[in-house]
Amino acid sequence: MVLKRGNVLTPEGIKKADIVIENSKITYIGETGFDGLDCFGKTIIPGFADTHIHGAFGTEFSSPDEEFGKGLKSLAKAGTTSVCCTIRALDLEGIKKAIKNIVKEYKSKPEGAKISGIHLEGPFVSRKYTGAMNPDCLIPPSPEKIKDLYNLSEGLLKIITLAPELDGAVDSIKAAVSLGITVSLGHSGADYDTAQKAFEAGATRLTHTFNAVIPFHHRNPGVLGFALTDSRMECEAICDFIHLDPAAVKLIFLAKGEDKVTMVSDAGVFAGLGDGEYVVSGKVRTVKNGMCLNNEGRIAGSCFTLNKGVKNLLEKGYSLTTVSKAASLNPSKALGIDNTTGTLEAGKEADICILDDDFSVCRTFVGGE
**Residues acting as catalytic residues:** 266
- What residue type is assigned to position 323 of the chain? V
Q: Residue 198 and residue 188: Cα distance in Å, rounded?
A: 12
DSSP strand pairing (2-10 vs 43-46): parallel
DSSP state string for 324-367? HIIIIIHHHHHHT-TTTSSS--TTSB--EEEE-TTS-EEEEEST
Residues in the chain, total:
369
CB 84 within 8 A of CB 132: no
- The CA distances from residue 27 to 20, 22, 155, 345, in Å, are 6, 6, 29, 8
How far is 77 from 71, CA to CA, in rounded Å?
Answer: 10
Strands in 214-357 per DSSP E: 234-238, 261-264, 276-280, 283-288, 291-293, 299-302, 352-355
Strand order of the sheet with strand 261-264? Answer: 48-53, 80-87, 114-120, 157-162, 182-185, 205-206, 234-238, 261-264
3-class SS at 174? helix
